[in-house]
Chains A and B, each alone.
Chain A
Amino acid sequence: MGQKIIQVILILIVSPFLFGLINKTKAFFAGRKGPPVLQLYYDIFKLFRKGVTYSKTVSFIFILGPIISLACSIIGLLIMPLGKYPSIFSFNGDFILLIYLFAMGRFFTVIAALDTGSSFEGMGASREVQFALFAEPALFLSIIALVKLSGKTSLTGILSKSIFSINGLLNPVIYLIVATIFIVFLAENCRIPVDDPNTHLELTMIHEVMVLDHGGVDFGFILYNSALKFWILGSFIAGLFSSIFSFGLFADILIFISIMFLLSIIVGIVESVLARLRLLKVPYFLMIGLGLSFISLIISLR
């Protein structure tokens, strides 16, 4: 138990670091120096020291939104295993709870956005729920395929199965699943090509426009929440690869974290070389994920 708690605390500390890594990668591609790797930590602490400004329109929902979303992500951390090392809670069907926790967080982000009465945030909220409509089934589909492949119905069971050994790497299904989860991962974490985390004020923004009115502590919570969410979904992908090697607990966790770093660098590269999709094309992008996971499911059913 002590080890698991340390594990969770470690993630709570490390996760904002990944965003710094992404931004460094992007800066490298753009030929800039870029913000320091620890920029997100600075931002969050600065926001925590600030006062807040609220709109006269908002109610307590606006304040509750970031809090509940963050709480959902923290609970998510308690469920999401670190590769084959289970987190504090591991039970059969835990991924259902995990996905619905994300939905809970989304519900509150969306109603907090609607609470401001701003048409921009309404727009963002509308898009957020629409894209979730495609992302969620895709995630479920890939989990079905994983459950079928591994014969286990818990996250730890799925991720610790030997199908992801060296031999398993030759299995094409794995790559289809990873591709699907990667697409969902990009969409859920509002990365390019679905969304752009850098700009706040274009009509085409989704997530960033929803939090336009938040400031101070609340925005700090939101930033931290996005870092945690990035870690949780990312560790799904990293977890699939991390069980290939095993060198004991300490080394494994280091390997896991380095895979996460690699993933952030990949996201950085994707963001550097791709343009954001036109808004109307985003559903098609998510549909690709749905299609890929469908194919992986059909193959794994045989």
Chain B
Amino acid sequence: MVIILISFFINAVIALILYKYQKFVNYFNGIVTSLISLSGLILLILNYFFNFFNFKNNYIALDNLSIFFLFLIFLGSIFFSLYGINYLTNYYSKKNLGVHWALINILIASMSLVVMSKNVILFLIAWEIMSFSSFFLVLFEGEKKEVVRASFIYIVATHIGTIFLFVMFLLYSKEYSSFDMSQWGGIKDSLLSSIIFIFALIGFGTKAGIMPMHIWLPEAHPAAPSHISAMMSGIMIKNGIYGILRILFTLKDVQIWWGYLLIIMGVISGFLGILFAVSQHDIKRMLAYSSIENIGIIVIGIGLGIIGLSLNNSLLILLGFCGALLHVLNHLLFKGLLFMGAGSVYFATHSRNIDSFGGLLKRMPLTGVTFLIGSLAISSLPPFNGFMSEFLLYFGFFNSILTDKISFVILSCFGIIFMAIIGALALISFTKLFGIVFLGELRDQKHSKAKDPPFLMVLSMIIFAIFNVIIALGFPFIIKIAANILGIGINFRLTQIFNILAIIVIVFIIFYIIVLLLILKRRILLINKKIDYSLTWDCGYAKPDARMQYTGSSFVQPVIDFFRYILRTERTPIKVIDCFPDNSKFKTKTKDFFTSLFTPLIELIKRINNRLTLFQYGYIHLYILYIFIALIILLIWKL
């Protein structure tokens, strides 16, 4: 594994040295990045079956949880970097691709190091490298004002998170007077334990994008190039989930209210995330909000697992944690696919405005079909993988309704209702996204020349789409692997779930068969029949126009209107001036109200900081003096 990390590093250095040969660097380093990830992936798979390296030293350790997340990192990196190669061809001689590929390599390496390191200091260093390299990657199109703003918000938010992590790690390691995480084994004092958990939740939650710490996410994802958005949304934010799980598993005695808190936070993230997604006009911004929703669902799963741990209910532990882990995997697959699809649309049209598209399915058939599969999977519809992981959570909730603890029963009811609402809203946002972008007639003729992107981009999307279908069909076995990762042995609960999932898979297969039979039936019925083509019947219009179609905004208007007190969509209404108004415009914009929630806090910090400029003169020798004084004070304090 260390060799893999080093080869990423070498690859980065090569990219930096050869930065002048743009085309070569792009292809060479891209393919090498992909190959290194592939070899890492193969190593992990071989290791899972044959267990030939039992890798351990003082700083790095590979346990099952790390291996699972490492697997995700490599799996994503293979295809995202392949995709990136073609995506970046638009930027030859405009950008320094050498630096870009170097940063990608560093990002992948640091992400892997985060999940591998068991030493706190190493972990934090890797964590910071990860944050910084992704910050610079977001800043790729730094000449645009909104990109600079977005990456600034990102770096500030992520550092606020890191501060909490620092405090959390210090508190924890003080208890054991060791920086070695593998020696940690819970904290007796329940208050301190809770404080550590809350700090970990805030710190890692900022990275994961749990509401209300999510504000950077909808800014940074649209600003970054698409393979980076896919990488960040598919992999990097999952490292936040990894952190939460890691800390959780070391804190042995979990408390039930943590589970309650996580479920409530998950429900809030899920509900508000998808609600904001419904109202967006920008494809990637919408996908970013949908990431928040999916993180919410993952957090709900973790919460369910915690409650299972504290009630000692093996079924809930299994369903909650497996649901969460597998949703992490599924989210990588479908959100990666969707971001790549959105990137392909951007690649072909240089636009991200949903309402300017239409009819792209005919122009970009492969992108369209894979995007459809991604949309179906993310709306958690059968027969795709998203349904399977959500099924586990639903099933967990329905089983907990039958427990005796009344507060938990009520919580489960709310969980189910909100998951149902989230599901319905996801359906709205993705019928909107797919229907408006890929179906109907093209709304803006600027995009009429759009076509499918080059080979590598299409290839990565197709492979991801296939994964989405296959994972669903192999889900019973995957849950066994997931249970194994969590250290849950084969017990009758697992067999029970396995059987249910197996039946569902059979149902899925029958579904495919029925669809095929119906298509065949239609073919047979239409033999020797006349098939005509004419205009869409629009109640007698002779010449339907693309502008007469429903737009994305009009499609979701009833829903937005219903939730107007939450969304606070700004509407710029039409002003009718004379008797024959022409060229009227109507604009809606939904801002994230959490941003305004943080504004007073930021203003306060600004004011305090302005006072503190007293100490900041900009002379280096003065700063050295400060360091010196601090050292002396520390020395005296220790005496």
Question: Are B530 and A91 in contact, with the CB atoms below 8 A?
Answer: no
Question: Are B533 and A117 in contact, with the CB atoms below 8 A?
Answer: no
Tell me the chain B residues, 221-255 only, with Cβ under 8 Å from chain A: none
Question: Are B557 and A126 in contact, with the CB atoms below 8 A?
Answer: yes
Which of B29-37, B97-105, B425-433, B473-481 is the contact stretch? B425-433
Chain B residues near A63 (CB-CB < 8 A):
522
Tell me the chain A residues, 72-88 only, with Cβ under 8 Å from chain B: 72, 74-75, 78-79
Select one of A56, A117, A144 contacting B439, CB under 8 A: A117
- In the bound complex, CA of A190 to CA of B253 (Å): 52
Q: Mark A96-138, 1 if CB is under 8 A from B, else 0.
A: 1101110110110011001111111111011101101100110
Q: Mark B506-531, 1 if CB is under 8 A from A, else 0.
A: 11001100110011001001100111
Tell me the chain B residues, 597-628 only, with Cβ under 8 Å from chain A: none
Chain A residues near B431 (CB-CB < 8 A):
107, 110-111, 114, 125, 129
Does A53 touch B at the CB level, under 8 Å? yes
Chain B residues near A75 (CB-CB < 8 A):
507, 510-511, 514
- In the bound complex, CA of A136 to CA of B380 (Å): 14
Closest to A283 in B: B562
- In the bound complex, CA of A48 to CA of B521 (Å): 10
- In the bound complex, CA of A55 to CA of B538 (Å): 11
- In the bound complex, CA of A14 to CA of B413 (Å): 36
Which of B109-117, B289-297, B339-347, B397-405 is the contact stretch? B397-405
Instruction: Write the nearest CB–CB distance from A16 to chain B, whole angstroms.
Output: 17
Chain A residues near B406 (CB-CB < 8 A):
301
Question: Are A127 and B536 in contact, with the CB atoms below 8 A?
Answer: no
Does B90 touch A at the CB level, under 8 Å? no
Closest to A47 in B: B525
- In the bound complex, CA of A71 to CA of B513 (Å): 9
Question: Are A57 and B410 in contact, with the CB atoms below 8 A?
Answer: no
Chain A residues near B556 (CB-CB < 8 A):
126
Question: Are A140 and B420 in contact, with the CB atoms below 8 A?
Answer: yes
Residues of B in contact with A, size category: 35 or more
Question: Are B531 and A52 in contact, with the CB atoms below 8 A?
Answer: yes
Select one of A79, A93, A97, A130 contacting B559, CB under 8 A: A130
Tell me the chain A residues, 240-274 only, with Cβ under 8 Å from chain B: none
Question: Are A127 and B558 in contact, with the CB atoms below 8 A?
Answer: yes
Chain A residues near B421 (CB-CB < 8 A):
133, 136-137
Question: Are A140 and B416 in contact, with the CB atoms below 8 A?
Answer: yes
- In the bound complex, CA of A283 to CA of B559 (Å): 10
Chain A residues near B320 (CB-CB < 8 A):
none
Question: Are A55 and B534 in contact, with the CB atoms below 8 A?
Answer: yes
- In the bound complex, CA of A50 to CA of B519 (Å): 16
Chain B interface helix/strand/loop/mixed? helix
Question: Are B440 and A129 in contact, with the CB atoms below 8 A?
Answer: no
Closest to A124 in B: B550
Question: Are B439 and A132 in contact, with the CB atoms below 8 A?
Answer: no
Question: Are B559 and A68 in contact, with the CB atoms below 8 A?
Answer: no
Instruction: Write the nearest CB–CB distance from A25 to chain B, whole angstroms.
Output: 31
Tell me the chain B residues, 372-425 only, with Cβ under 8 Å from chain A: 372, 376, 379-382, 387, 391, 394-395, 398-399, 401-402, 406, 409-410, 413, 416-417, 420-421, 423-425
Question: Are A59 and B522 in contact, with the CB atoms below 8 A?
Answer: no
- In the bound complex, CA of A96 to CA of B428 (Å): 19
Known: A67-B518, A67-B522. A100 touches B440 (CB 8 A): no
- In the bound complex, CA of A212 to CA of B539 (Å): 10
Does A192 touch B at the CB level, under 8 Å? no
Chain B residues near A42 (CB-CB < 8 A):
none
Question: Are A93 and B398 in contact, with the CB atoms below 8 A?
Answer: yes
Q: What is the size, in residues, of chain A's interface with B at 8 Å between Cβ atoms? A: 75
Question: Are A89 and B558 in contact, with the CB atoms below 8 A?
Answer: no
- Of A55, A93, A115, the most chain B CB neighbours within 10 A belong to A93
Instruction: Write the nearest CB–CB distance from B238 to chain A, whole angstroms.
Output: 25
Closest to B514 in A: A71
Instruction: Write the nearest CB–CB distance from A72 to chain B, whole angstroms.
Output: 8
Chain B residues near A89 (CB-CB < 8 A):
503, 506-507
Chain A residues near B420 (CB-CB < 8 A):
99, 136-137, 139-140
Does A297 touch B at the CB level, under 8 Å? yes
Question: Are B537 and A51 in contact, with the CB atoms below 8 A?
Answer: no
Chain A residues near B358 (CB-CB < 8 A):
117
Question: Are B503 and A297 in contact, with the CB atoms below 8 A?
Answer: no
Chain B residues near A67 (CB-CB < 8 A):
515, 518-519, 522
Question: Are A117 and B503 in contact, with the CB atoms below 8 A?
Answer: no
Instruction: Write the nearest CB–CB distance from A4 to chain B, whole angstroms.
Output: 14
Instruction: Write the nearest CB–CB distance from B321 to chain A, whole angstroms.
Output: 18
Instruction: Write the nearest CB–CB distance from B334 to chain A, whole angstroms.
Output: 14
- In the bound complex, CA of A57 to CA of B538 (Å): 12
Closest to A90 in B: B503
Does A181 touch B at the CB level, under 8 Å? no
Question: Are A122 and B522 in contact, with the CB atoms below 8 A?
Answer: no
- In the bound complex, CA of A146 to CA of B212 (Å): 35
Which of B135-143, B261-269, B541-549 is the contact stretch? B541-549
Question: Are A148 and B401 in contact, with the CB atoms below 8 A?
Answer: yes
Does B554 touch A at the CB level, under 8 Å? yes
Known: A75-B507, A101-B382, A301-B410. A129 touches B531 (CB 8 A): no
Chain B residues near A120 (CB-CB < 8 A):
538-539
Chain A residues near B507 (CB-CB < 8 A):
75, 78-79, 89, 97
Closest to A110 in B: B431
Does A208 touch B at the CB level, under 8 Å? no
Closest to B429 in A: A129
- In the bound complex, CA of A151 to CA of B394 (Å): 16
Does B361 touch A at the CB level, under 8 Å? yes
Known: A115-B440, A122-B554. A140 touches B417 (CB 8 A): yes
- In the bound complex, CA of A72 to CA of B546 (Å): 32
Question: Are B549 and A100 in contact, with the CB atoms below 8 A?
Answer: no
Known: A51-B526, A93-B398. A117 touches B532 (CB 8 A): no
Q: Mark A203-246, 1 if CB is under 8 A from B, else 0.
A: 00000000011001110010000000000000000000000000
Known: A104-B381, A111-B431, A119-B549. A54 touches B533 (CB 8 A): yes
Closest to A92 in B: B500
Does A70 touch B at the CB level, under 8 Å? yes
Chain B residues near A301 (CB-CB < 8 A):
406, 409-410, 413
Does A147 touch B at the CB level, under 8 Å? yes
Does A21 touch B at the CB level, under 8 Å? no
Known: A78-B510, A110-B431. A126 touches B537 (CB 8 A): no
Instruction: Apart from A107-B431, A110-B427, list 20 A-B contacts with CB within 8 A.
Output: A52-B526, A52-B532, A56-B535, A57-B536, A89-B506, A92-B496, A103-B379, A107-B379, A111-B434, A114-B440, A118-B549, A120-B538, A123-B550, A125-B431, A147-B402, A153-B402, A213-B536, A216-B529, A218-B522, A221-B518
24 CB-based A-B contacts, threshold 8 Å: A49-B525, A52-B531, A57-B535, A63-B522, A71-B514, A79-B507, A91-B499, A97-B504, A97-B507, A100-B387, A101-B382, A107-B427, A110-B431, A111-B431, A114-B435, A114-B555, A118-B536, A120-B539, A129-B428, A130-B562, A144-B417, A153-B399, A201-B539, A221-B522
Q: Measuring CB to CB, which residues of chain A are less than 8 angstroms from any residue of chain B?
A: 48-59, 61, 63, 67-68, 70-72, 74-75, 78-79, 89, 91-93, 96-97, 99-101, 103-104, 106-107, 110-111, 114-123, 125-127, 129-130, 132-133, 136-137, 139-141, 144, 147-148, 151, 153, 201, 212-213, 216-218, 221, 283, 297, 301
